[in-house]
Amino acid sequence: MNTPVRRVYLAVWWFNHAGGMERHVTELALALARAGIEVEVFSQLPLARSSPWAKAVRAAGITLAAPGRLAGALARVQQRWPRLSWTLVWSWNGLAFRLSHRGEEAGATYHRDHDVLTRLMVRRIARRARVRPPDLIHVHGCRLGQHSLLQWASGHGIPAVYTEHTTIGDWGGPFDEEAPWVADASASIVACVSETSRSSLLAALPVSRDIPIARHIVRGPVRATATVLGERLRILCVARLARHKGVDVVLEALAQLRREGIEAELRIAGDGEERANLQRLATELGVAGCVTFLGEVHHDRVSELWDDAEVGVLASRTEGLPLSLVEAMAHGRAIVATRAGGIPELIRHEENGLLVDPDDASALANALRSLAEDAILRERFGTAARRSFERGEWSEESVVRHTLSLYEDARERGVAMANAPTNAWVRQHVRAAAGTVRRVFFVLWGLPGNGEMERAVADQASALASAGVDVHVFLDRAPAFLNRHALHMRRAGVRLIAHRFPFSLVLRIWLRIARALGWNSEAAMALSIRALTRACSRLEPDAIHVHGWRLGRGWPGLQSVLRLAEERGIATVYTEYANTGDAAQLRTSATLTAASAAASEYLRHAIGGESEVTLIRHAEIRRPVVQPPLTSSSRIVLLAASGAGFPTALLKAMADAKPIVVAASHRDAAILPIRHRAHGLIADADQPGSAAAAVVELAADPLLAHALGVAARRTFESGGCRQMALAAELTSIYAVSSGGAA
């Protein structure tokens, strides 16, 4: 990009505790401000008045926005009663309170659509962006928890960089199974703080991508400070007092040292929710007299503590990349830590420190004993740790230079994605399949954030809009502000038409009363049908696509929509998403389709087999790709890049994870959705025997064939090919339906 980055929003999960993520964001904000970049910081969780990070940021003149006391109280209620929590639900023109039930069962999906603090932060950023739009949003989070903000930024054309600060999967906690898909599609750059964190994130993402390492700014002394020996071994632990930091294991190891007659004292710098429990544990273990809980300590004071300490210890159960150990290395201190997260990337066992397994108090005590009994060993490890720090790129200049390069890459990738040459290829083949289809109306009863039907509808509407079809989605109520499906569709250019608050609330109340009294609830949908009628008169759609389940039981206006379409001679398509339960009888000339094989069988049984049901093959819910088993009997698909049937055949082979050989000219090969030896083999169509040689190569190497098939499947899921196939499939159905109606 020709214009440099001038204004950046930094969004962080929380900004209170003495943690690595908070310090990273603080140091980065201050460094970027010193480099002449306008920085604004947004915290999702409320701030404590004593937050040292907030004081440092505001002292530098940087704007810091965070929720107020009311939002903090609501957040505490959510934490205290997660199964029954009041959630603030924002609509487009107002707000309402809704009582929501959150499942805590094992394996339950954690949906953040109605998280009050997420909504408040995105609302605040949206308002600020209207006044002073940023060049880029840099989101810092844990376990991809800020994916709603990423999707919002992507939907508004703002490049986004996401930095993951933990190792995904190391410990339990809120994790939305759709977060990897949203992050992969919305963030221009995804970075991690360590190699281990990168590996865990790559395993979660739907497709492999380049993930750079985001280094921290650590300000160590010019040279390692000398260690003053004392009568007791002085141990320092700088960590937030949370369970995953393993401070309880350190206390147990200290108790074991004391029982063996080794004099040692422990200082713990940090605070957290486990402080009272840890103090109680220290008393029970009999080490309260040699343990000092210092609470939250200012950064300058932490440097003094390292100067006075002899050994640093960290017994984390999970980690990203702990800055406390980097500081210990900068001061030249011997370190004992666990093999968790990115710690082994900093500490190499018996080279610049000692490593033990998490939750092993005996091993931790043995390592501390070896350092307590050998001052020369402590000195050797401390010197080696200092050399490791000097070789690392922890300086402000290096980190700012690397961060700005990521920002420029993010902006360039955003432009490249918008102008990708594949879009022209997609439109060309979709137009060929569509014939005269130019405008389609979608009709469904609502748009919750966690329904399978809603996900499929969002995929279908976005695929059509991305291919150039004018898509309007009619709803009987407005979607939530951070509804992922609404953001996804708006980003693709879909127009959502719905009743606004408070009318949508009144309508829902009336529907409940009508159903309870047994009245004809279709009368309550009159205004929704009236809006659809006006749109049909003004815009003249080529088809109306109705989405429902149990043949309209979930949406009372189905029959009205079908009658409207028949009266005006508009082709109608009905898609069934249910696969069980009692169904209403449907008598209509609409083209019947189903989103899955089970739904197709259900619909065929419900209508008595009188009409043909078309399966929309690619309308299934997005989910992580399951790698097919390796077999020696994988069929190789040979295609020629010519003829009208080529794109559909190629996409089907990719969806089925088949090893593919494509015979194409150099010009055709340049626009294919696959790359040679990355997702398949591309043979030269002008060279005799080239395609045969490629087939023989795959047949002789089952491992290569299997790897290329899996890569093709992943590309189909995440590289736009699935969207391409879905758009072509739908427009073909509309074209056939329109011809029948005419």
- Report if residue 273 sits inside a domain: yes
Cα-only R_g, the chain? 30
- Report if residue 251 sits inside a domain: yes
- pLDDT, one tens digit per residue, over 148-168 is 888 888 878 899 999 998 888
Residue with tokens 């004993």: 369
Expressed in angstroms, the distance from the first to the final Cα of the chain is 50
Residue 10 has a pLDDT of: 96
As a whole number of angstroms, the distance between CA 88 and CA 119 comes to: 8
As a whole number of angstroms, the distance between CA 500 and CA 508 comes to: 12
Q: Which residues contact 418 (CB under 8 A, 6 or more apart)?
A: none
Cβ burial of 436 (10 Å; 0-12, 13-18, 19+) is exposed
Task: Name the helix (H) or strand (E) containing 739.
Answer: helix 721-741
Statement to judge: residues 427 and 409 lie in one domain: no
Per the CB < 8 A criterion, the answer to whether 625 and 681 are in contact is no
Q: What is the pTM of this model?
A: 0.70
Statement to judge: residues 24 and 100 lie in one domain: yes
Most confident of 329-343, 461-475, 552-566: 329-343
- Report if residue 717 sits inside a domain: yes
Cβ burial of 97 (10 Å; 0-12, 13-18, 19+) is exposed
As a whole number of angstroms, the distance between CA 677 and CA 633 comes to: 20
Q: Which of 124-128, 358-362, 426-430, 601-605 is the least confident region? A: 426-430
Statement to judge: residues 62 and 154 lie in one domain: yes
Which structural domain range is residue 427 located in? 420-622
Helix, strand, coil percent values for the chain (each to nearest 5): 45, 15, 35
Provide φ and ψ at 41, rounded to 5°.
-115, 135
Q: Which of 564, 597, 622 is the last residue of a domain?
A: 622
Statement to judge: residues 107 and 177 lie in one domain: yes
* pLDDT of residue 406 exceeding 90: yes
Per the CB < 8 A criterion, the answer to whether 555 and 445 are in contact is yes
As a whole number of angstroms, the distance between CA 668 and CA 429 comes to: 14
Per the CB < 8 A criterion, the answer to whether 255 and 368 are in contact is no
Statement to judge: residues 479 and 615 lie in one domain: yes
Q: Is 675 helix (H, G, I), strand (E, B) or coil?
A: coil
Q: Which two tokens stand for residue 244?
A: 């995953």
- Report if residue 641 sits inside a domain: yes
Statement to judge: residues 260 and 375 lie in one domain: yes
Best CA proximity match to 320, nearest among 148, 199, 178, 184? 199
Best CA proximity match to 449, nearest among 480, 404, 417? 480
Statement to judge: residues 178 and 40 lie in one domain: yes
* pLDDT of residue 387 exceeding 60: yes
Per the CB < 8 A criterion, the answer to whether 443 and 497 are in contact is no
As a whole number of angstroms, the distance between CA 273 and CA 266 comes to: 19
Provide φ and ψ at 209, rounded to 5°.
-150, 165
Q: Which of 182-196, 378-392, 613-627, 708-722 is the least confident region? A: 613-627
Sign of the C-alpha dihedral computed for residues 211, 215, 216 and 217 taken in this order: negative
Average pLDDT, stretch 60-85? 66
Provide φ and ψ at 510, rounded to 5°.
-65, -40
- Report if residue 1 sits inside a domain: no
Statement to judge: residues 60 and 83 lie in one domain: yes
- Report if residue 738 sits inside a domain: no
How many independent structural domains does the chain possess? Answer: 4
* pLDDT of residue 102 exceeding 50: no
As a whole number of angstroms, the distance between CA 287 and CA 266 comes to: 9
* pLDDT of residue 601 exceeding 60: yes
Statement to judge: residues 654 and 590 lie in one domain: no
CATH code, domain carrying 684? 3.40.50.2000
Q: Is 477 helix (H, G, I), strand (E, B) or coil?
A: coil
* Widest distance between CA atoms in the chain: 96
Per the CB < 8 A criterion, the answer to whether 246 and 361 are in contact is no
Q: Which residues contact 83 (CB under 8 A, 6 or more apart)?
A: 101, 102, 103, 104
Statement to judge: residues 50 and 95 lie in one domain: yes
Angle 389-390-391 (CA atoms, 0-180°, nearest 5)?
Answer: 90
* pLDDT of residue 236 exceeding 80: yes
Residue 391 has a pLDDT of: 86
Statement to judge: residues 210 and 238 lie in one domain: no
Statement to judge: residues 68 and 160 lie in one domain: yes
- Report if residue 371 sits inside a domain: yes
- Report if residue 597 sits inside a domain: yes
As a whole number of angstroms, the distance between CA 418 and CA 416 comes to: 5
Q: Is 641 helix (H, G, I), strand (E, B) or coil?
A: coil
Cis upstream peptide for 421 (omega within 30°):
no
Residue 380 has a pLDDT of: 93
* pLDDT of residue 615 exceeding 70: yes
